[in-house]
Amino acid sequence: MDEIDIKAPEFAGFFEAARQGALAFPKCGSCRRFHWYPMKACPHCRSRDIAWQKVEGTGTVFSWTAVRHAFDPAYKERLPYIVALLEFDDAPGIRLVTNVEEVAPEAMRIGDRMRPRFHDSGKVTFHPAQA
């Protein structure tokens, strides 16, 4: 099954960090705030002094949905799968759209704690953080 492969150069820092087993988001060197998606200028202060900042990666479910219809036949065998919007403890302002695995839709809750898993392909998925 083909995965979505984001080749846009502005995402290179994200996938480079992921291959090293870390989450990273763009952070402005001027106002010190994070933003997502990557941009050439900070959306908060318009500075172009932006660098990738690695973060712990543990986060919280802000919102989520269960996908039950495959818009692309390649995804049909995965159904249902969960797409979630996650917030991160040490990256305030970031909300990342991502896949959550190893949780049944019936068990998903807003506020659940999640941690990342880094795959050899560079893909990142999230899983329940065990207490």
Name the site residues for Zn ion (rule: CB under 5 A): 28, 30-31, 42, 44-45, 47
CB of 41: closest distance to Zn ion in angstroms? 8
Query: In the complex with Zn ion, which residue's Cβ is closer, 31 or 79?
Result: 31
Does the bond joining 37 to the residue before it have cis omega, within 30 degrees of 0? Answer: yes
CB of 57: closest distance to Zn ion in angstroms? 22
Q: Which of 46, 43, 50 is nearest to 10 (CA)?
A: 50
Query: In the complex with Zn ion, which residue's Cβ is closer, 6 or 45?
Result: 45
CB of 34: closest distance to Zn ion in angstroms? 9
Query: In the complex with Zn ion, which residue's Cβ is closer, 42 or 100?
Result: 42
Rounded Cα–Cα distance for residues 16 and 84 (Å): 22
Q: Where are the alpha helices (DSSP H) in 70-116?
A: none
